[in-house]
Structure 1
Amino acid sequence: MGSRHRATMRCTLPSVLVAVALSLTALSPLARAEAPSAVEQTYNTVRNDPVRLGLFLRAFPKGADLHNHLVGAIYAENMLNWAAQDGLCVSLKSLEILSHACPHPKEGEMPATALAGNPDAESRLIDAMSMRDFTPSPADRSGHDHFFAAFRHFGSIDAAHQGDMLAEAMDRAAHDHITYIEPMISPALPAMIRAGFKHPMNGDDFAAAHKALEPEISALVTQARQETDAMDKQAQTVLKCGTPEAHPGCSVSVHYLFQVLRTLPPQAVYAQLDAGYAVVKADPRFVGLNIVAPEDDAIAMRDYTLHMRMFQFLSQVYPGVNLSLHAGELTGKLVPPEGLKHHIREAIEIAGAKRIGHGVDIASEDDVTGLLAEMAKKHVMVEINLTSNDEILNVKGAEHPLPLYRRAGVPVALSTDDEGVSRGDLTQEYVRAAQTYNLSYADLKQMSRTGLEYAFIPGQSLWDNHQVGKPVAACQTVSSSQPESGPCADLLKTSEKARLQWQLESRFVAFETSAPHESLYQ
């Protein structure tokens, strides 16, 4: 896909990203970045009213959703609609979308088109494909198992509708007033896994594994890029980007993380990683890697350190690739105590992760004080997923480590994880955080900015040394809402990250100007 298409898709041209400031104020949004505002009083007025707080935080500008699995971001109803469009069957026994057409349904099957006239069957499918109304039963005993099982109920349909999924995620992000999303996707993954099985590993001889796989890497990268091209093109068509009927989602900026399944034999995990690193190096749409699937899986636990060493090796082969790793999505009910002691540390110290996804078991790590200090010093950000941690791990409220991270000075940002399966969105995460942890408006604003600050967006940050709210020297004295010349203008022209941060600050100006005058908040 050409650079012109990417610019249209992500709306990252400087004139587009900073134009919003022109109609709001003649001053730079940075001039008001830390100014006391009546919006704080407005927030305090609504914070104990869940309905008005939800309205307030829906409109609240959010920097980024950095922990977002694209397949899990989709609501079950849309999956079923696509199944109907494709003429597929659904099983009323296994409660899943089947991969075959449905001219003559077998016993226990029905056409997806017939669900519109069978609300009971549709409801049962939606419940199986999501966490809606989940209650434990002898046959479905835990939120953890129900959550991860949900993906198999719609796995047959996701490949054909990647672009539809991306369009849905972008439109929902726009509705949530999110500037940037970083969905996790896995183009060409089956081919990568098959390539791995052709080349058995000899212990931890990663150099030999890389050499054996190297002749196939180029073709795997090409396939991954072609699949991503098709996804982006389909999403642009659905959203009608570049036309007068363009959806709001067209204004959301997007980059991707390549995600790798950790629950396969070592040679298959290695092949995914090696090819995934190569995709990130070859395609600027991809800005990093992650490793996914249940961390408590027997293979994931057995090979955890081996996987971290694979990252360590490949980061030398492909220098400069960013890592955001799922680590610490565990509790003592899922694994023995020794399984809680080292995952976060190894993700940082062996693999070199710049961000940690979940990090729930941090208090069980060896030398937790030292580890937290290291994370704060190295600016390792934690992606906090409150709803999924509750649904999957039954960790919530005072048992969640969010306050611990904040007390230790570790940067944190809220994210959705799998908002479609969880039946939520990023606004729900902000409401939950505000109500549960007595967060101030300044706290929420900091987390919003932190999301963009630690996003793997190319370019220099607008903020000085990760101090969100403190501009770099080039922009400290800017007074114009749209600098046309000088060091700050040069930064905005050359750095996608700085442009998006400027856009977020402009949106804060607009929100903080209008919210105190909204009658519903009085």
Structure 2
Amino acid sequence: MRRRIWIAVILLAVVALGARLLLVTRDLPETLTAGQFDTLRADHPRMRAFLHGMPKGGDLHTHLSGAVYAERFVAWAVRDGLCLRRADWAILPRPEGATAEQPCGTDPAVAPIAEAVAGRQGQTTYDLLINALSTRWFVPTLAVPSGHDQFFATFGKFNAATGGSEWDSTAAAIAAMTFDQIQQYQAESAQYAEFMVTLLEGEDRRRLAQAIGSETDPAAMLAALERAGLSQAVATKAEQMKALVARIDALRDCKGDAAKPGCNVAFRFLAQVNRNGSPADVFTQTAHAAALVRAVPGIVAGLNYVGPEDYRVSLRDYRTHMKWIAFLARADVPVALHAGELWLGLTPPAEMDFHIREAVEVAGARRIGHGTAIGFERGMDSLLSEMRARGVAVEIALTSSDVILGVRGKEHPITTYLSAGVPVVLATDDAGVSRIDLSNEYYRAARDYGFGYRSLKRFAHNAIAHAFLSEADRQVQRAKLDQSFAAFERATADALPLRTKVKLVLAALVPPLP
């Protein structure tokens, strides 16, 4: 009897080992790649290099102007003859009526940026300017006491280099910035991006907002915009966006050669709405953005509210904004929202316990940007369950949360979302301002939270699964990502010596301890 028991035990062990071996070797290249990645954890430079080459799906949360490195803005400002005000390190346009002798006007504190960064002191000026236009080497001062303040102040300083008051100059800048970024994404093995841009500015925006007058009912506000020419403004912008894409395609000059820089990256725009304007201005931007998505969904794929969530106007009008989005976007316009980009000390606790829930339940957001304050939400667990059930993804920007909110390590809720089954994607937010790239966010996820290769691979797939794409375009991008991972894993496995392969397979046979 005892002998039969031992035989049964041995047979069960053999069957279990065989099943485990079958599971491990079913996709041997992936198994070997995952095992090889685990061996790099103690060698951060090699781990970073590995992740730079790993396919990363896409970046769903990136502000186009904030993604560009300050060095590019300075180069463009020099090329375009822009000016520098040293008092606050702001790039300024040339004043109207400026002469060749005084191209930046009569104020001695404002000089051509080309002159400011030239000569014996040019490098010092250049370095200080780069620091001012980003968070590089940021050190708190009484004037700028936090990374939050430094971060948001940079946009006003480099804004003049991102275009002008006319659409032609703005379109040229958007095209240049987009081309700049898709080249960067291709270099680090990302294949898709959604760029947040402002698409309603100048006289059209002012005129439409003024037409709302004292109306406060959303239906009446929308009717006032329609009477003032909203549909025509949207139709005009739709044609401009088509021309903009053609302009970007001309810069790429692919001609069937996907190996050229930027040719292997697909992109869409998200119409961003500045949430810290007057009620009429915010409603106008939102109405225009929603209508524009309906007009050219293959170019402008969705909308998002931007600007500090903790500012006075945003806090005051937050619930109203969510209702406006629901009214204007309805079910057919994809919405991603910055929500819960808050932390204790930045705002009163009472302002932190409803933003993510309102974005999901009222505004119908399909993706949440940051979501850092989930732990302060009323009924957090029920909200997480609802997000999981609805398939609402969270765009996690680890460096941005660190720089802006000081939230890092175990304080960050990335593992909370994952343990609740909420889809997570990794994003840069503003790579240029934060001096990072998408690969760095994968590196931080692996270094700081111990995520393995398969978890990182799932983040990459989530970026395509939750992109604002048509189903046909999503299938194309998904197949492309699958092919990229297959090629990456084959190359990684093929480069390993046989002895290493055997060791990695044997290590994979032993399940990790819980």
CA offsets, 1:316-364, max 9 Å, x none? 4xx4111011100001211101100100000010000111000000000
SS of corresponding position for 1:443: helix
Tell me, in whole angstroms, the C-alpha distance in 1 between the residues paired with 2:370 and 2:248.
Answer: 29
CA offsets, 1:453-502, max 9 Å, x none? 0101101xxxxxxxxxxxxxxxxxxxxxxxxxxxxxxxxxxx11111100
SS of corresponding position for 1:199: helix
Which residue does 1:47 correspond to in 2? 41
SS of corresponding position for 2:372: coil
Opposite residue 188 of structure 1, the aligned amino acid is L
Tell me, in whole angstroms, the C-alpha distance in 2 between the residues paired with 1:200 and 1:499.
Answer: 43
Q: 2:309 aligns with which of 280, 295, 304?
A: 295
Which residue does 1:512 correspond to in 2? 489
Structure 1 residue 36 displacement after superposition: 4.7
Q: 2:138 aligns with which of 134, 138, 142?
A: 134
Structure 1 residue 162 displacement after superposition: 1.1
Does structure 2 retain, via aligned residues, the 8 Å contact 1:387–1:422?
yes
Q: 2:269 aligns with which of 247, 256, 269?
A: 256
Q: 1:156 aligns with which of 151, 155, 160?
A: 160
Does structure 2 retain, via aligned residues, the 8 Å contact 1:196–1:272?
no
**Percent of residue pairs bearing the same amino acid type:** 37
Opposite residue 85 of structure 1, the aligned amino acid is R
Does structure 2 retain, via aligned residues, the 8 Å contact 1:295–1:327?
yes
Which residue does 1:237 correspond to in 2? 250
SS of corresponding position for 1:436: helix
Opposite residue 193 of structure 1, the aligned amino acid is R
Alignment of 1:449 onto 2:450: no
Does structure 1 retain, via aligned residues, the 8 Å contact 2:73–2:161?
yes
Which residue does 1:462 correspond to in 2? none
TM-score (structure 2 length as normaliser): 0.85
Alignment of 1:348 onto 2:352: no
Quick check: which has more Rg, 1 or 2? Answer: 2
Does structure 2 retain, via aligned residues, the 8 Å contact 1:356–1:381?
yes
Does structure 1 retain, via aligned residues, the 8 Å contact 2:200–2:285?
no
Structure 1 residue 47 displacement after superposition: 2.1
Q: 2:347 aligns with which of 335, 338, 344?
A: 335
CA offsets, 1:288-312, max 9 Å, x none? 1101000001000000000000011
> In terms of mean alpha carbon deviation, does 230-239 or 265-274 score higher?
230-239
Which residue does 2:17 correspond to in 1? none
Which residue does 2:503 correspond to in 1? none
TM-score (structure 1 length as normaliser): 0.83
Tell me, in whole angstroms, the C-alpha distance in 2 between the residues paired with 1:226 and 1:389.
Answer: 37
Which residue does 1:281 correspond to in 2? 294
CA distance 1:87–1:518, change in 2 (3 Å): farther
Does structure 2 retain, via aligned residues, the 8 Å contact 1:191–1:220?
no
Alignment of 1:307 onto 2:317: no
> In terms of mean alpha carbon deviation, does 180-189 or 97-106 score higher?
97-106
Tell me how large the CA RMSD over aligned residues is: 2.1
Which residue does 2:112 correspond to in 1? 111
> In terms of mean alpha carbon deviation, does 98-107 or 115-124 score higher?
98-107
Which residue does 1:484 correspond to in 2? none
CA distance 1:164–1:72, change in 2 (3 Å): same
Does structure 1 retain, via aligned residues, the 8 Å contact 2:62–2:194?
yes
Which residue does 2:12 correspond to in 1? none
Which residue does 2:417 correspond to in 1? 405
Count how many residue pairs are aligned between Structure 1 and Structure 2: 454
Opposite residue 239 of structure 1, the aligned amino acid is R
CA distance 1:402–1:68, change in 2 (3 Å): same
CA distance 1:202–1:62, change in 2 (3 Å): same
SS of corresponding position for 1:356: strand
Does structure 1 retain, via aligned residues, the 8 Å contact 2:200–2:288?
no
Q: 1:62 aligns with which of 50, 56, 59?
A: 56
Tell me, in whole angstroms, the C-alpha distance in 2 between the residues paired with 1:311 and 1:142.
Answer: 31
SS of corresponding position for 2:238: helix
Tell me, in whole angstroms, the C-alpha distance in 1 between the residues paired with 2:220 and 2:368.
Answer: 29
Which residue does 1:359 correspond to in 2? 371
Does structure 1 retain, via aligned residues, the 8 Å contact 2:258–2:264?
no
SS of corresponding position for 1:389: helix
> In terms of mean alpha carbon deviation, does 411-420 or 225-234 score higher?
225-234
Opposite residue 109 of structure 1, the aligned amino acid is V
Structure 1 residue 192 displacement after superposition: 5.0
> In terms of mean alpha carbon deviation, does 31-40 or 129-138 score higher?
31-40
SS of corresponding position for 1:68: strand
CA distance 1:204–1:48, change in 2 (3 Å): farther
Gaps of 5+ in 1: 1-30, 460-494
> In terms of mean alpha carbon deviation, does 150-159 or 355-364 score higher?
150-159
CA offsets, 1:209-237, max 9 Å, x none? 01110131123213423443443333333
Which residue does 1:86 correspond to in 2? 80
Tell me, in whole angstroms, the C-alpha distance in 2 between the residues paired with 1:33 and 1:202.
Answer: 64
Does structure 2 retain, via aligned residues, the 8 Å contact 1:69–1:185?
yes
Alignment of 1:143 onto 2:157: no
CA offsets, 1:376-399, max 9 Å, x none? 111110000000100000001110
CA distance 1:191–1:359, change in 2 (3 Å): farther
Opposite residue 503 of structure 1, the aligned amino acid is K
CA offsets, 1:7-33, max 9 Å, x none? xxxxxxxxxxxxxxxxxxxxxxxx977
> In terms of mean alpha carbon deviation, does 329-338 or 87-96 score higher?
87-96
Does structure 2 retain, via aligned residues, the 8 Å contact 1:131–1:147?
yes
Does structure 1 retain, via aligned residues, the 8 Å contact 2:356–2:368?
yes
